Structure 1
Amino acid sequence: MVPTATPENGHYEIGFFLVPGFSQLAFSSALEPFRMANHLTDRRLYTWHLVSRDGAPVSASSGLQTGVDHAMEKAPPLDLVVVCAGVEVQHHCDRGTLRWLRRLAARHTPLGAVCTGSYVLAQAGVLNGYRCTLHWEHFSSIHEALMFPEVTFTSQLFVMDRDRYTCSGGISPLDMMLTLITRQQGLELAEAIAEEFIHERIRDVGDHQRNPLRVRLGHSHPKLEEVATLMEANLQEPLSLNELASYADLSRRQLERLFQRYVDCPPLKYYMDLRLMRARLLLRQTHMPITDVALACGFISPPHFTKCYHDRFGHSPSRERKRRSDRVADAATQHAEAAPPPGEE
C-alpha cells in the first residue's frame, strides 16, 4: 500500500516525528527528496510537517535544535508519518507517543521510520506481523534481549512492507524515499532527483547494510567475505581457525596469509575485534548483566572478557556501562531544562 494523493489537492502531506537524539543526516536524507520533487516539477507534490511530542524544539544527536510545526496531538491529517530517531532511542518511547502511533495505525495512516525509528514503532506494536529494518548497531541488542518476537527484522538497507516503510539510517532514507517517489510519481522524476544530489545509483530493497570487511578492503574478496560472514554468525560460540579454514575450503596457512595481506592482521585478532565490538553494543544498548554479555560474545571467563575489553577500548566493561548511565542521566537533565515551565506550553 502506497499513500494515495487526495483528489482535492493532488499532493501528499508528510509528517516527520522528531525523537530527541534523532540523526540529522537521516532526517535530512528523508526530507530532501520531497523538496527536490517540488522544485524540479514546479508543483506542490509534497508538503511536510515537523512534529514533536509536545510541540517544543527537538535536539538532534549533534546537539542542534530543530523547531517543529506541531505537537503530535495537534498534527493535521497526514498521508505518511515518519519517525526520525537516533541515539538512546529506548529512553524516548513514552506512553503518550506510543498511544499516538497506535491511533495513527488504527486510522490506517502509513507509518515509516529512519535510523532507529523502527524501535519506536515496534514498541508501539504497530510493526507486529511486518518485516522491517533499523540501523545495524541495534540488531545485537534486539536479538539478545529477544525483543519484539512478532516483528521480522532484516539486514536490508530499507524495507517497504505494505503500509510500513523502514530504513537503516545514514543516507539510506534517500534511497527509500526515491523508491517511494518512483512509485508515486514515476522513475524519471526519481532519477532526476538522484542526479541533482549526485547520487549515482538508487539502491533498492535488495541492497543490504554494512559488510565490515568489504568496507575495510575497499573491494570484494569472496573467500574473506565468506570467512567474515562465518565469524559474524558465530560470535557466541566462536569457531576455531581450523574450522573457519575448512568451511571456506582453505588451509589454515592460506587463511592466515589472506588476512595478513588484505586486512593486515591475523584472522583471530579480527574475530576477537568483532566479538568485542558486539559486546560494546550490548553494554551500551541493553541492561544485560555483564556476565551475560560476556557469554553472548563467546567469553566463558569474565576476567578474560574484562582483560580483553580493557586492552581493546582502554577501560573495563563496568566503566562502559557507567558511561552509558551517565549519558542517559545527562540527556534527562537537558530535556528537563529545555521543557517549558508549567502553564507556558
Structure 2
Amino acid sequence: MNEQLQLMIDWIEDNLNNQFSLNELSIYMGYSPYYCSFKFHQVTGISIRRYILFRKLYLSTKDLANNRKIIDVAFDYDYSSQEAYSRAFKTVFGISPREYQLNQLPVQSFVKLTLNKDEEWCKMDVSRKIEVERLQHKHSELFDKDVLNILNGQIMYENFKDNRLMGDSDYAPFNEAMCVNATTKQVFDKEFIYTRAFGHHDSVENYINKVIDPLDNLFNNEYKCIVLWFGEDMFCQMNLLTLLSYLEQSGYEGKVFLNSFREDEFKVNQTELKLGHYYSVYKEVLVHHTKPSNELLPVMYQAIDIYLNMLKEDNEVVKYISKNKDLTTSELIKRLFALFPTVGYGDSQYIEIINKIK
C-alpha cells in the first residue's frame, strides 16, 4: 500500500500549483475518490486538502523570502486573490505574507511525505559542525565566554559541550517536556518543581537532579547573551516558551538569540528575540490553556496551535492510534514519529497515549 500512497503523494506534489481535483487523482490512481481520500488520511493522519494547504503555504514562504510580489505568489499557488492567500497564510502562520517577507521569521517546515518499501520515512542528515561553522561567520561574538547556550535535551547538550561547538561559551541542557502535564505561573520555583515532578510521576529529588541542577549556569552566572537551541516542533517550542518566560521573570537584560532548526537536517534559522511578552503568553497557553493575545514568531504560533489541539481528547494523534490499534506499539511509535514530526513527542509520551487507548 505504501507504493500506492507514494504515487498518490507524487501526483499531488506534481500538481500543487493547480486547483486540486479529487476526481482527477482518483482517475490517475484507478481508485474511487472516496477510497483515495480515506486511505490517504488513514496512512498519513492528515486529509489530502490539509496536506495540500500546508505544503502550498510552506513552499510559498520560500518565494516570499526571494522578494517575489505577493500577488504573483498567490496566483502561482492557485489562490483566487491576494486577499484569499493572505487570509490562509495568517491562519497558519499567525502573521501576514508581507510581515513574513519583511522579517523572514522562522516557520515550521512542512516537507513532502516520502515513504519507502520498509514503511520508513526518508530523512536528511547534515553535520551540525558544518552548520555551526556557518553561523560563526555571521555572529562570531556568540562564541565568547560571556555567552550561554541552552540546548533542548541532554543528548544535544553533550554533543555541543563535548565537541565545544560554540567555542569558549558555556552550555546547559533543558531536560523537560513542558508540552505535557500541569505547570505553575512562576517558572523554576518550589511550586513549579513539585508540580512538574508530580506530573512526571517522579520524586522532587530526581526532578531537581535531572532538570534544575543542569541549569546551574543559567541561575548563577551572568551572561551578555543567551543562545537558545530549540527545534521547530511543538515539544521544543513549549520548552522554549518556558525558558523565555523565566528570563523575563528573572529580569534578564542581555541579548537573546533563538537558533531554530529541523531535527532531520539541522538547518538553523537564527533570530534575535526581544523579551517583554513571553511570560504573559506562557500563562495564557501553558497555565490556562488558552490562545495567546500577543503576536509571536510563526514557528511558536504554529506550535501553540498544535499544543492546544493535542489537549483535546480526540486529537489527530489519538485518532490515528485508535484506527491502527492492531499494530504493535513499536510499529505505531515508528509511524507516529514519521507522520507527526511537528508534534515532537518522544517515546514516553506516545507510549502513554497508546497504553490508554489499547
TM-score, shorter chain, exceeding 0.5:
no
TM-score normalised according to structure 1 size: 0.30
Q: Which has the higher helix share?
A: 2
TM-score normalised according to structure 2 size: 0.29
Which structure is richer in relative contact order (CA contacts within 8 A, separation 6 or more)?
Answer: 2
Q: Which has the higher strand share?
A: 1
